[in-house]
Amino acid sequence: MSPACWRLGLWLLLLLSAACSERPRLNPLDPGGEGVTDPGRLQARAGHGVVELRWDYGHYRDVHGVRLWRRQEGGEELALGDPGLAGAAGQREDRAVTDGMAYAYDLELVLTDGTAWRPAAAVSVTPGPDLVWAVDRSAGQVWQVTADGRGAWFAAGRFLALAGAAADSRRGCCWLSDAYARSVARLSSTGGVEFHATPGRQPGPLAVDTDADLGWLIDTLRGEVCWWSLAADGDTLALGPMDAHFTQPVALAPAAGGCWVADRGEGRVCFWSPRGQRVEYADLAQPASLAATQGDLWVLPEAGDRVLHFAGEARHEWPLPLANATVLVWDERQGCLWVGGASEVAAFSSTGALLSRWTTASPVRGLAPGVAAGTVWVASANGLDRRGADGQVKARLGGFAGLLCVAVGPAADAW
User: Three-state secondary structure along the chain?
Assistant: CCHHHHHHHHHHHHHHHHHHHHCCCCCCCCCCCCCCCCCCCCEEEECCCCEEEEEECCCCCCEEEEEEEEEECCCCEEECCCCCCECCEEEEEECCCCCCCCEEEEEEEEECCCCEECCCCCEEECCCCEEEEEEECCCCEEEEECCCCCCEEEEECCCCCEEEEEEECCCCEEEEEECCCCEEEEECCCCCEEEEECCCCCEEEEEEECCCCEEEEEECCCCEEEEEECCCCCCECCCEECCCCCCCEEEEEEECCEEEEEECCCCEEEEECCCCCEEEECCCCCEEEEEECCCCEEEEECCCCEEEEEECCEEEEEECCCCCCCEEEEECCCCEEEEECCCEEEEECCCCCEEEEEECCCCCCEEEECCCCCEEEEECCCEEEEEECCCCEEEEEECCCCEEEEEEEECCCCC
Provide the residue type at 378 as one letter. Answer: V
Q: How crowded is the C-beta side of 259, counted as CA atoms within 13 Å?
A: 31
Do 162 and 174 meet the contact criterion of CB atoms below 8 Å apart?
no
Can you give the pLDDT of all 415 residues of the chain as single tens digits? 444 444 434 343 333 333 332 223 333 333 333 334 566 789 999 999 999 999 999 888 899 999 999 999 888 899 997 777 889 999 999 999 999 999 999 999 999 998 999 998 999 999 999 999 999 999 999 999 999 999 999 999 889 999 999 999 999 999 999 999 999 999 999 999 999 999 999 999 999 999 999 999 999 999 999 999 999 888 999 999 999 889 999 999 999 999 999 999 999 999 999 888 999 999 999 999 999 999 999 999 999 999 999 998 899 999 999 989 999 999 999 999 999 999 999 999 999 999 999 999 999 999 999 998 889 999 999 999 999 999 999 999 999 999 999 999 999 753 3
**150: β partners:** none
Q: CA–CA separation, 175 vs 369, rounded Å? A: 18
**183: β partners:** 178, 197
Q: CATH 2.60.40.10 spans which residues of the chain? A: 43-125
Do 365 and 405 meet the contact criterion of CB atoms below 8 Å apart?
yes
Q: What is the pLDDT of residue 38?
A: 67
Q: CATH 2.130.10.10 spans which residues of the chain? A: 130-410
Q: What is the CA radius of gyration of the chain?
A: 27
Q: What is the pLDDT of residue 212?
A: 95
Q: What is the pLDDT of residue 37?
A: 52
Do 238 and 284 meet the contact criterion of CB atoms below 8 Å apart?
no
Do 371 and 332 meet the contact criterion of CB atoms below 8 Å apart?
no
Angle at alpha carbon of residue 305, lines to 303 and 309, rounded to 5°: 105
Angstrom CA distances, 364 to 10, 189, 289, 389, stand at: 63, 25, 13, 16
| Torsion sign (Cα): 57, 58, 60, 63 | positive
Angle at alpha carbon of residue 162, lines to 158 and 163, rounded to 5°: 170
Q: What is the pTM of this model?
A: 0.87
Instruction: For the domain covering 43-125, report its CATH number.
Output: 2.60.40.10
Q: What is the pLDDT of residue 85?
A: 86
Q: What is the pLDDT of residue 287?
A: 97
Task: Give domain 130-410's CATH architecture.
Answer: 7 Propeller (2.130)
